[in-house]
Structure 1
Amino acid sequence: MADTFTYEIKERIAVLSQSSKGWTKEFNLVSWNEKDPKYDIREWSPDGNKMGKGITLTDEEAAVLKKALMAREDL
Structure 2
Amino acid sequence: MTAPAIDAPDRALYRITEAMRLLSLSRTVIYEQIRAGRLRTVRQGRTRLVPATAITAYVDLLQHEAMEGGTR
Greater relative contact order (Cα 8 A, min sep 6): structure 1 or 2?
2
The structure whose residues are more often helix, as a share, is 2
TM bucket normalised to smaller: 0.3 to 0.5
- The alignment's TM-score, normalised by the length of structure 2, stands at 0.32
- The alignment's TM-score, normalised by the length of structure 1, stands at 0.32
